[in-house]
Amino acid sequence: MLVSVVILQFFLHSNRTIRVWMKRDSGQYWPSIYHAMPSSCSCMTFNPETRRLLVGMDTGNVFEFILSEDYNKMTPTHTYQAHQGRVTVVLFVLEMEWLLSTGQDKTFTWHCSESGQQLGSYHTSAWVSGLQFDVETRHAFVGDQSGQVTILKLEQDSCSLVTTFKGHTGNVTALCWDPAQRVLFSGSSDHSIIMWDIGGRKGTAIELQGHNDKVQGLCYASHTRQLISCSADGGIVIWNMDVTRQETPEWLDSDSCQKCEQPFFWNFKQMWDSKKIGLRQHHCRKCGQALCGKCSSKRSTIPLMGFEFEVRVCDGCHASITDEDRAPTATFHDSKHAIVYLHYEPTTGCLLTSGTDKVVKLWDMTPVVS
């Protein structure tokens, strides 16, 4: 198998080299290629079928290489002048022969990888850190630093805006598309992941809370229906997506606690009339009621709502959550380095993490992703 012998590694900023690591008979990985680049690499993608490697650069160019069959040589084939600033994401779509890319110049462009010609471009509201493409319907999902995901319908040389998803309070840092279930996952610097159920056609968006830091990468193992996510603190979470989760309720608005009726601090009239002190408003994560601190003092995990960590719940909801309901629907692992990049290879069951420590770790995921 191709992918079991080749791992591509790049270093951001500090290193201008591309290395191809091959697994040797000894079981150890050694670089077969050590290629010097003219400037810093910012992102890359590899297509195993065509052995095509596309590398986005700080200068805005995208370099295309073909790797030899024995992975001992890489030959430059194209240079795309794609952007005015750093390339943030590159994506290659073999079915269309398209190269999709986004840059710090706030543009999304697509090129024909056969002619090298630019086919079209679209101005994004902020610079993009997540990009996915659905081959069947030709929709591009573009996640940006303002926290929104833009959905574009691409034609050969034009595109139209379909809709935008707004749900994160921080930057979108990663996107992952599952074409079988037609579900889009977005990860954010707000520590959360949102599962946008497009295939379900009901507008369902489920929040997954299992990280204590910025989400840095997302991969979907379609054969086992597990989502793999990682965060800047080194946490790796494997989510069972066979579980049906519920949407979190809208938070209700009230001028007084919906249980004990004590006024909240902005409700001067009731504070005066009843000679009561105004309290801070909190919300129960399960029912969404507006409550005072005393009436929402309990904490619980609610895995079926995506809360793998304990969150604030009211007394009534706390009593209604059974131990069975609290059974985790995800497993938690520590990679012991600050992850910047994540890649999962389903054919080998290998997970690759690359960290700020410039170490690349390979994880055998077969015990947990199966």
Which range of residues in 28-36, 58-66, 210-218, 281-289 is near Zn ion by CB under 5 A? 281-289
Question: Which C-beta is closer to Zn ion: that of 267 or that of 335?
Answer: 267
Contact call for residue 290 and Zn ion (CB under 5 A): no
Can residue 318 be called a binding residue for Zn ion (CB under 5 A)?
A: no
Which of 295, 342, 365, 369 forms a contact with Zn ion (CB under 5 A)? 295
Judged by CB under 5 A, the number of residues near Zn ion is: 10
Nearer to Zn ion, 221 or 284 (CB): 284
User: Pattern 41-70, binding to Zn ion, x per CB under 5 A?
Assistant: ------------------------------
Amino acid found at 131: L
Q: By C-beta, is 219 or 317 nearer to Zn ion? A: 317
d(C-alpha 78, C-alpha 59), whole Å: 15
Binding segment for Zn ion (CB under 5 A), chosen from 32-40, 141-149, 258-266, 324-332, is 258-266
Minimum Å gap between C-beta 314 and Zn ion is 3
- Segment near Zn ion (CB under 5 A), from 30-38, 86-94, 185-193, 288-296? 288-296
Nearer to Zn ion, 191 or 282 (CB): 282
Per-residue mark of binding to Zn ion, 344-363 (x: CB under 5 A): --------------------
Q: Is residue 311 involved in binding Zn ion (CB under 5 A)?
A: no
Stretch that binds Zn ion, among 25-33, 64-72, 129-137, 307-315 (CB under 5 A): 307-315
Instruction: Tell whether residue 302 is a contact of Zn ion (CB under 5 A).
Output: no
Return the number of other C-beta atoms located less than 10 Å from residue 163's C-beta.
Answer: 10
130, 202, 361 from 358: Cα distances, Å: 22, 43, 10
> Is position 259 an interface residue for Zn ion (rule: CB under 5 A)?
yes
What are the start-end ranges of the E strands in 135-274? 139-144, 148-154, 159-166, 172-178, 183-188, 192-197, 205-209, 215-221, 226-231, 235-240
User: In this structure, are strands 52-57 and 61-67 parallel, antiparallel, or unpaired?
Assistant: antiparallel
Here the tokens at position 187 are 């990860």
> Should residue 298 be labelled a site residue for Zn ion when binding is judged by CB under 5 A?
no
The H-or-E segment that residue 66 falls in is strand 61-67
Chain centroid to CA 15: 25
Least gap, CB of 299 to Zn ion (angstroms): 12
| C-alpha 214: how far from chain center | 10
Residue whose entry in the numeric block shows the structure tokens 């009731």: 270
Q: Is 292 in the site for Zn ion (CB under 5 A)?
A: yes
- 233 DSSP assignment: T
Contact call for residue 284 and Zn ion (CB under 5 A) = yes
The answer to whether 314 contacts Zn ion (rule: CB under 5 A) is yes
Question: In 3-state terms, what secondary structure has residue 294?
Answer: helix
Residue type, 20: V
Least Cα distance to 223 among 348, 128, 102 occurs for 348
Phi, psi of 25 (to 5 degrees): -55, -30
Name the minimum Å distance from CB 202 to Zn ion. Answer: 24
- When asked if residue 317 is in the footprint of Zn ion (CB under 5 A), the reply is yes
Please choose, out of 37-45, 91-99, 251-259, 355-363, the segment that lies near Zn ion by the rule CB under 5 A.
Answer: 251-259
Stretch binding Zn ion (CB under 5 A), from 47-55, 57-65, 139-147, 313-321: 313-321
Q: What tokens does 33 get?
A: 């290629």
Q: For residue 67, which of 59, 79, 75 has the smallest C-alpha distance?
A: 75
